[in-house]
Amino acid sequence: MTFDYDVVIIGGSLTGRYAAAYAAKMHAKVALLEAQISDGESYYHQIIQEISLSKAPIWSEVMLNANSVASRLEQMNSLANLATLGVEVIIGNGEFLGPSPLVMSINGRLLHARTYLLANKSIPKTPQIPGLEATGYLTLDNIWQYVDKANLPQNWVIIGGTPASIEISQTLAHLGCNVTLIAPYPSVLSHLEPEIAQMLITQLEVDGVQILTHTAITQVQQFGGKKVIQLGDMVIKTNEILVAYGQQANLESLNLAAVGVRQHQCRLIVNHKLQTTNHRIYACGSVIGGYDLVNIANYEAKLALKNALFMPIFSVNYTHIPWIICSQPMLTQVGLTAAQAKIHYPQNQEKILVLKQYFKVLALAQTRSALNKVAITGICQFVVLENGQILGASILGTQARELIDIIVLAMKKNILVKDIADLAPVYPGFTEILVKTAQEWHNYRLQKKYALQELLANFFYFRRDWEI
């Protein structure tokens, strides 16, 4: 059988476009399917967060800037640019037509491809709360409807517990809103190092975000022009509700069951090569679960395409993939936390070291604190083995998203923590925090070697009596 395409990408997300560009640059014949032409809303969440953190004074100014930036980004990643790379862009809703032959139907056409990649745009999850649908709510997909409004609602309740819910809570608080974040979990940051999680929670509370954890909403209703939320014996009245409960796959129209692709709890089942239960159909991003983070989805897309276009020999490995919460200060993490390391290395728990240093030791952090009249909040933590191998890192502080990439490179290239300790970074600068944290490894080794300490003390004692 002759195939029309090497790969057909079912897109609609930023990752779908990234995947199409990557496959085209590999000289594959590619078709990209999008349900509709995007108008830039995919960028709004990140843009609004960045602009609000720059202390833009009012919502109308934030959205004016966001609109401008989103428009420019949309042009850079436009379907027209993909077409110039040789990608055939098809607008419409496609569906699979049976497993043999494996084809897709769209707009009356049949598409024959050797492989397919599902990189659909996800849709928000909605918790099953009585009265929520009838009362009405916003999601991160449509909060930008306020683009033409001069003022935001003053009072917000955010139902979440995900990184996105933390980000938008702080954003709205910075814009002068009263914000209550409600999460059904014991903690909104349970997957983080405990000290770092508490530092971020404290910062959110200082910024004005009220956080209610382990709290179940029993009912939502409209009353007297307000949205009323019932939490057991507690009642909260608010102007607007935002659901930031996470994302889920948007796959209903694809007829995946007909081609043997299985799902579990709104997520596609994939193997370590990112193949679905139909080995010619691959998947990446939010359709296979996890947080909707662009860098992780793009990593998955690239690996899936290497398997789809060549030989399926590459396995997914998230060890060196960092993730971020775009809070203020930002939080980034890669690899294992201390608790995870103890699980992974049960026989060597005594050899697992936690090295940490605080941003307050940095000259540049002190300078900016004095200029901006704000407290210094920040910590860098490494989890390492006694031999210096880096297992993971967590950074909360200014420039965290740039700093974490240095640690990612070190982990990928098996660079030891002692090598980072020997760097001489530009002074003053935030990279110094990595060096100061790494130097704690030398301090630990010196403190443990009592004989060496005694030898050094005796050496300098006698050396002081030497004649020059």
The boundaries of every CATH 3.50.50.60 domain in the chain are 5-124+247-309, 132-243
Kindly state the DSSP code that residue 275 receives in the 8-state scheme.
B
Cα separation, 231 vs 229, whole angstroms:
6
Question: With 0-12 CB in 10 A as exposed, 13-18 as middle and 19+ as buried, what is 263?
Answer: middle
Best-predicted range by mean pLDDT (25-29, 252-256, 458-462):
25-29
Cα separation, 408 vs 392, whole angstroms:
9
- pLDDT at position 259 is 94
Cα separation, 380 vs 446, whole angstroms:
21
Mean pLDDT score, 112-140:
91
Mean pLDDT score, 326-342:
93
Residue with the two structure tokens 């900016």 = 368
Task: Look at 1-5, 278-282, 342-346, 383-387 and tell me which has the smallest mean pLDDT.
Answer: 1-5
Residue with the two structure tokens 């490894």 = 441
Cα separation, 298 vs 19, whole angstroms:
7
Which CATH code for domain 329-451? 3.30.390.30
Report the share of the chain in percent with pLDDT over 90.
Answer: 57
User: Rounded to 5 degrees, what are φ and ψ at 409?
Assistant: -65, -40
The boundaries of every CATH 3.30.390.30 domain in the chain are 329-451
- pLDDT at position 269 is 92
Name every residue whose Cβ is closer than 8 Å to that of residue 121 and which is 6 or more positions away in sequence: 11, 12, 13, 16, 35, 42, 250
Structure tokens belonging to residue 164: 């996105």
**The pLDDT of residue 391 is above 80:** yes
- How distant, in Å, are the alpha carbons of 38, 395, 466 from that of 205? 36, 20, 60
Cα separation, 65 vs 49, whole angstroms:
12
User: Rounded to 5 degrees, what are φ and ψ at 229?
Assistant: -115, 125
**The pLDDT of residue 334 is above 60:** yes
Question: With 0-12 CB in 10 A as exposed, 13-18 as middle and 19+ as buried, what is 163?
Answer: buried
Structure tokens belonging to residue 278: 């139909």
- pLDDT at position 374 is 76
Condensed to tens digits (0 to 9), the pLDDT of residues 84-118 reads: 999 999 999 999 997 888 999 999 999 999 999 99
- pLDDT at position 22 is 96
Mean pLDDT score, 288-310:
89
Task: Look at 289-293, 308-312, 385-389, 399-403 and tell me which has the smallest mean pLDDT.
Answer: 289-293
Cα separation, 388 vs 353, whole angstroms:
9
Condensed to tens digits (0 to 9), the pLDDT of residues 157-180 reads: 999 888 889 989 998 898 889 999
Q: Which CATH architecture has domain 5-124+247-309?
A: 3-Layer(bba) Sandwich (3.50)
Q: What is the mean pLDDT of the chain?
A: 87
Structure tokens belonging to residue 17: 């476009």
Condensed to tens digits (0 to 9), the pLDDT of residues 208-258 reads: 999 998 888 999 999 888 999 999 888 999 999 999 888 887 888 899 999
- pLDDT at position 343 is 92
Best-predicted range by mean pLDDT (72-81, 84-93, 120-129):
84-93
CATH 3.40.50.1370 fits 132-243, yes or no: no
Structure tokens belonging to residue 467: 């004649």
Cα separation, 369 vs 362, whole angstroms:
11
Kindly state the DSSP code that residue 162 receives in the 8-state scheme.
S
**The pLDDT of residue 308 is above 70:** yes
Condensed to tens digits (0 to 9), the pLDDT of residues 420-455 reads: 999 999 999 999 999 999 999 988 877 766 666 667
What is the reported pTM?
Answer: 0.88
User: Rounded to 5 degrees, what are φ and ψ at 451?
Assistant: -65, -40
**The pLDDT of residue 69 is above 80:** no
